[in-house]
Chain A
Amino acid sequence: MDEQKPQTILSLESIRKAYGTFQILKSLRLEAFDGEFLSLLGPSGCGKTTTLRIIAGFERPDAGVVILGGQEITSLPPNKRDVSTVFQDYSLFPHMTVAENVAFGLVERKMAKTEIAARVAEMLDMVRLGDFADRKPGQLSGGQKQRVALARSLAVRPRILLLDEPLGALDLKLRKAMQLELRSFQQRLGITFIYVTHDQEEALTMSDRIVVMKGGEIQQIGGARAIYDRPANRFVADFIGETTLLDGVVASADAGSGLVQVDTPSGPIRVVADNRPAMAAGQRCCVSVRPEKVRIGEGGANTFDARVETVTFRGPVVEYALQLEKGKMLRASGPATASGAASGDRIKVAWDIADAVLLEDV
């Protein structure tokens, strides 16, 4: 949306890393822009934490380079890098007070005492822990520890703040509050945040851009909406949000309009294949349909017969599990007030040509 070209602050070039024979990162290429909130999202073992540790300097890549602000830092130790990390389990120094924890990095930088005191007070104010300066970490709650860790890392004014699943240990309500808080700190300070998480909702809520990873490779990079609406492949479609994947074979493809007809066991589906590599007739593929795009009733380019299996009330929405004829279970959801379909009903379901996404079967 921003017209001016974003400035690259960090780039990873062809990073490879193996633990023994297990290749955790396979030629990873990644850029982070100045002042953005970038999330690395993927299931455990996808290499997201390793990527973060390579940026922080705790791991040395087997091959490839790390460039921070135009300077190659691949082999610099962690203390020489202008980045700091918020660790998963906070890693606060138990023998130091909250204020001493926040001052730790400033003392290492040999700042004047008065300056340190001022910066510590400013940081503790920001995370609203001004009254806790003299407490020890053992006397704090999980959320408070989290905020001390954040203040400690931000106190040194890093160019990039790395966050390794920092909200994992908090309960849901606190996590939601911290998500918004993190986002607001990031926007206020204008520091690049690189955030590792396996929680797709967390990534969708906070990020400017999301890097979806799997098996040591990047699957897709993009904004939350782009990744949700236009997943690059089957994995991304399935991993981000809810979806039904309908397998089929390309019956016909019109190169001009991009209109593709896919034969599935339940019947033909018409879908628009936007700027993807053109698919040829006979090619195996799958169609991803989000539950909220499925309408109950007739009147779409794709209309199917279905039997309602279950209806689940979720508060604002109702979720349906629909058995398509000779095919898969289709998931649908809609406003709780909209439809009166009950379990066992035979109904019609429909969605528009533009409401589904055609994906290669890989």
Chain B
Amino acid sequence: MAVATSLGPKLKPARARAAGDGRLVLLSIPILFLAAFLVVPMTVMIAYSFYSQDALTGLPIADFTFDNYRLIFTDPLYYNSIFNSLEVMVTVSVICLLVGYPVAYFIAVQAPPRWQALLLLLVILPQWTSLLIRSFSWIAVLRPNGLIDWALTGIGITSQPLDLLYSRTAVIIGLVHIYMPFMILGVHASLKALDLSLISAARDLGATPFSAFRRVVLPLTMPGISTGLILVALPVLGAFLTPRILGGSSEVLIGNLIEIQFKQLANWPLGAALGALVSVALLIGVAGLSFVGRSRV
């Protein structure tokens, strides 16, 4: 015992150093990952956004100009598409929340426990199909005389084909379908962590079911809601495939413009400026949402 205690203090610093080194190694992995796949590309993109384009060759010139940003904020093509994208993002996020929350609630709270894994699997299952295929499938459903028209005229609600395809509605339907699982999973996780006896306690103290939800369940699941909103809003703002397939030329979102700048017009500086704006907007949004998620508990 005496030997052990006298050795203790001497051993301790060495051990602490060893543990510190271990932590450093462990910490360096995510740091390197973030540096390689987030910080470096972002820096390059932001640098490019201040370049200009050679009028003859179309190649980027490494000078420093605000022209790209000026164009985005003065040309309606660009700023309208940014507003459209934000509108679509908000609409899709809100629909995902309003539909996804009750689904998550049902799975986490009301469904019999042995069904819960299966129900969650069913939620995730569509993700196993390619995004492209899911987006194209909606064409068959939404096109004139497609599945929806066929059904609605069949039961006599409409006589004219609805012009759904290549509209904002079509884009929103497609994006809601694709990103709904993320909302459900985010909310489900926080509902599973909720102590259900708190609902009983609220009811016992005189709360109606709605009041118990509003005063207890909702505030305690804010972290899940903000996670879900981040998981939906982020990719929706950058989405270009689904808007292109279902929106056609009538609904050009920011993602499509970025894609066009890089792939068709080869205007990398302008594309980079658009990309930088989206990234900054997303960072602000994520910071805000995670603040809401944290401050409530």
Hey, which bits of chain A sit against chain B, CB under 8 A? 56-58, 77-79, 84-85, 87, 89, 91-95, 104-105, 107-109, 152-153, 156
Contact = CB atoms under 8 A, between A and B. Distances in A.
Contacts of A108: 205-207, 211
B200 A95 contact: no
A84 B205 contact: yes
Given A78-B203, A108-B206, A108-B207, A95 B219 contact: yes
Given A58-B200, A93-B202, 16 more contacts: A57-B204, A78-B203, A78-B204, A79-B206, A79-B207, A85-B201, A87-B201, A89-B195, A91-B201, A93-B216, A95-B296, A104-B205, A107-B215, A108-B207, A153-B205, A156-B206
B133 to A, nearest CB: 43
B297 A94 contact: yes
A105 B200 contact: no
A79 B208 contact: yes
Nearest to B297: A95
15 contacts: A58-B200, A78-B204, A79-B204, A79-B205, A84-B204, A84-B205, A85-B201, A87-B197, A91-B197, A94-B198, A95-B219, A104-B202, A104-B215, A107-B215, A108-B207
Contacts of B201: 85, 87, 91-93
B257 interface: no
Contacts of B203: 57-58, 77-79
A127 to B, nearest CB: 16
A87 B203 CA distance: 13
A92 B201 CA distance: 8
A156 B207 CA distance: 12
Contacts of B195: 89, 91
Nearest to A80: B206
A249 B195 CA distance: 55
Interface of B: 195, 197-198, 200-208, 211, 215-216, 219-220, 296-297
B207 A89 contact: no
A362 B207 CA distance: 46
Interface of B is mostly: helix
A86 B219 CA distance: 22
A109 B220 CA distance: 22
Instruction: Name which of A85, A89, A91, A153 has the most chain B CB atoms within 10 A of its CB.
Output: A91
B215 A78 contact: no
Contacts of B211: 108
Nearest to A83: B204
Contacts of A104: 202, 205, 207, 215
Contacts of B205: 79, 84, 104-105, 108, 152-153, 156
Given A79-B208, A94-B220, A105-B206, A87 B200 contact: yes
Contacts of A94: 198, 220, 297
A100 B146 CA distance: 55
User: What 7 pairs across the A-B complex have the smallest Cβ distances?
Assistant: A105-B205, A108-B206, A91-B201, A78-B203, A91-B197, A85-B204, A79-B206
B217 to A, nearest CB: 11
A92 B195 CA distance: 10
B225 to A, nearest CB: 14
A148 to B, nearest CB: 12
Contacts of B297: 94-95
A107 B207 CA distance: 9
Contacts of A57: 203-204
A94 B198 CA distance: 9
B200 to A, nearest CB: 6
Nearest to B219: A95
B135 to A, nearest CB: 40
A78 B200 contact: yes
Contacts of A93: 198, 201-202, 216
B56 to A, nearest CB: 63
A273 to B, nearest CB: 46
Contacts of A152: 205
Contacts of B204: 56-58, 78-79, 84-85, 153
A58 B203 CA distance: 9
Nearest to A149: B201
Contacts of B216: 93, 95
Nearest to B208: A79
A195 to B, nearest CB: 16
A67 B204 CA distance: 17
Contacts of B220: 94-95
Nearest to B206: A108
B197 A89 contact: yes
Contacts of B197: 87, 89, 91
A93 B211 CA distance: 14
Nearest to A102: B205
Given A104-B215, A108-B211, A91 B206 contact: no
A31 to B, nearest CB: 22
A58 B212 CA distance: 14
A322 B22 CA distance: 64
A20 B200 CA distance: 22
Nearest to A53: B200
Nearest to B194: A94
Contacts of B215: 104, 107
A92 B202 CA distance: 9
Contacts of A79: 203-208
Contact of A109 (B198, B206, B296): B206
A87 B205 CA distance: 12
A95 B194 CA distance: 12
Contacts of B206: 79, 105, 108-109, 156
Contacts of A77: 203
